[in-house]
Structure 1
Amino acid sequence: MLNEVADGVWVRQSEWVWSNAVVVRGDAGLILVDPGISGADLTELADDIDQLGIPVIAGFSTHPHWDHLLWHSRYGEVPRYATPGCAQLAEQARERAQAMAAESAPDIPLDLIALLTPLPADGGPIPGELIEHDAHAIGHAAILLADRRVLIAGDMLSDVLIPLLDPRRPGQVDAYETSLDRFAEAVQYADVLIPGHGAVAKGTEIAARLTADRAYVEALRQGEPSSDPRLSQDWLAGPTSRT
């Protein structure tokens, strides 16, 4: 079910990797950020949205990994936005995303995966400030709703995911450090942090998440082992050397 974490901002968490679908009330209707994960999740999210009685006017994908590219026909034929870099890569890798979705989660509408539109320069209907960066995935972006003091972080600042670097691209440690600097500025205006996966953070826990990610990335830079407790999840174990 939807949990309202701030005025006009709701979160629904799936069992699969604690994935968070975010619903944001904009001026003209609802924006769905990273809806997912299984077909049942998508359907139940549609039921929850029906209860709100507010139309969906747009979607937004924070980055081009398959679990952030999903959609359901009940949300409507509306634009699904992403940064230009994200939209381009999602189009190029659409078949791969469909294959990964089919393998990982049941009953997903595969024909609706990764149908993204580059976000216009003026931000279109997306409320707040977009924070685009190069960590984790090409075209990755967060949304800062400063008026509601909410940061929708994508796959950053999670209590269950370590910083996951893209091994196909050089300079990811530097990219992560730069992105965390930008997040450090943004969290000054946030009382609520919504990660792509894991628990919603509030208050002082937000700064603690930032500190934990900085420490993990610094250990990577130094080529030292990390004592980060998130590494106890074997399937999330990260690289032990520099990227």
Structure 2
Amino acid sequence: MRELRQVATGVWVATAQVWTSNTVVVVDDDGAALVVDPGITRAEVDGLVAAVEAHGWRVVAGLSTHPHWDHVLWSPAWGAAPRFAAPRAIAALAGDVERGWAEASATAPGHDRALFGALTPLPTADGAPLGSPVPLGSPVPLGPPAPRGCRVVTHDAHAPGHLALVTRGVLVAGDMLSDVEVPLLDVGPGGDGARAPRDPVADYRAALDALERAVEECEVDVLVPGHGAVAVGREAIARRFADDRAYLRDPDGSRDPRLADAWVAGEHAAQVAFLRSRATG
């Protein structure tokens, strides 16, 4: 059973041993629960199922922050619950699903292929039809069956249609604002630069601006990144934004302490090479 830590009223976090990946569960007073990015290994996801059952909650919906394989997994125990994602994220995954499944199978075997990436366009609470384009950069209410008080912010940093969840003073940021990873740019699926956006650094900066506005507008005091430690308090959250902006000012010359991790350093080297090729191409 995975350990769940409460970080705000009705908001719980489980941190996995694999890549310090964070799962968030948002729970209403009646036990209706929204699961965000449920985990990586099959054991982690099964452990989350057990933890949710032990609390007496019932999963009514899921949320995938972005279309990378480690964020689109699910459990058969919750198979009937819709799993929401931004329409752009769903389209991006549809064009790359076999490569994503191959990576999932190699790194975290045992998942159900039929559930992999089976996502539903976001429902919004403003009367827009299911699957309508979600405005970039502004918090939009997330409609039923999600718990009350959930809003999403969509952008194109790190991956197309990346979204963050804002609820109850908590920002669930997806793969951004981490204390263990530098900003990881969208350099194309599988590193295919030919399919990368025109200016991924600008996309990332715009996303940071949007998320910072959400922190202010929604009075956020807790930040949960996709990987790494939870940041508590406005000062700690502001440092995350400052660190990511400092890296983006000069990725090639960065001496960011997060680069001490070998995997992060490898991703950094790859995206610096990508940016150099764009500059000379």
Q: Same fold (TM over 0.5)?
A: yes
Letter in 2 for 1:124: G
Cα separation, 2, equivalents of 1:101 and 1:117: 20
Paired position in structure 1 for 2:26: 24
Range 180-189 or range 10-19, more displaced: 180-189
Q: Report deviation, 1:75.
A: 2.2
1:120-173 Cα offsets, whole Å, 9 max, x none, are 23332344221111100000000111xx21000000100111100111222111
Cα separation, 2, equivalents of 1:69 and 1:49: 19
Confirm whether residue 205 of structure 1 aligns to residue 225 of structure 2: no
Q: Report deviation, 1:27.
A: 6.8
Cα separation, 2, equivalents of 1:211 and 1:66: 28
Confirm whether residue 124 of structure 1 aligns to residue 154 of structure 2: no
Q: Secondary structure at the match of 2:19?
A: helix
Paired position in structure 1 for 2:39: 36
Paired position in structure 1 for 2:183: 163
Cα separation, 2, equivalents of 1:135 and 1:27: 33
Q: Report deviation, 1:112.
A: 1.1
Paired position in structure 2 for 1:87: 90
Q: Report deviation, 1:187.
A: 2.1
Q: What is the TM-score when the length of structure 2 is the normalising length? A: 0.81
Structure 2 unaligned residues grouped into runs of 5+: 126-141, 188-195
Paired position in structure 2 for 1:234: 262
Which runs of at least 4 in structure 1 moved beyond 4 Å after TM superposition? Answer: none
Contact 2:166 2:172 in 1 (8 A): yes
Cα separation, 2, equivalents of 1:214 and 1:181: 10
Range 72-81 or range 38-47, more displaced: 72-81
**1:79 to 1:27, Cα distance in 2 relative to 1, 3 A:** farther
Contact 1:154 1:196 in 2 (8 A): yes
Larger gyration radius, structure 1 or structure 2: 2
Q: Report deviation, 1:227.
A: 1.2
Paired position in structure 2 for 1:179: 207
Cα separation, 1, equivalents of 2:54 and 2:116: 25
Identify the match of residue 136 of structure 1 among 158, 165, 168. 158
Confirm whether residue 2 of structure 1 aligns to residue 24 of structure 2: no
Identify the match of residue 58 of structure 1 among 46, 61, 66. 61
Cα separation, 1, equivalents of 2:272 and 2:97: 30
Cα separation, 2, equivalents of 1:36 and 1:229: 26
Cα separation, 2, equivalents of 1:169 and 1:234: 26
Q: What is the TM-score when the length of structure 1 is the normalising length? A: 0.93
Q: Report deviation, 1:43.
A: 0.6
Letter in 2 for 1:25: V
Q: Report deviation, 1:62.
A: 0.4
Confirm whether residue 74 of structure 1 aligns to residue 102 of structure 2: no
Cα separation, 2, equivalents of 1:62 and 1:47: 23
Q: Secondary structure at the match of 1:62?
A: coil
Range 207-216 or range 95-104, more displaced: 95-104
Q: Secondary structure at the match of 1:47?
A: helix
Range 60-69 or range 18-27, more displaced: 18-27
Contact 2:79 2:115 in 1 (8 A): no
The two structures, once aligned, show a CA RMSD in angstroms of: 1.5
Paired position in structure 2 for 1:47: 50
Cα separation, 2, equivalents of 1:110 and 1:37: 14
**1:177 to 1:236, Cα distance in 2 relative to 1, 3 A:** same
1:195-225 Cα offsets, whole Å, 9 max, x none, are 01111110121110110000001113xxx41
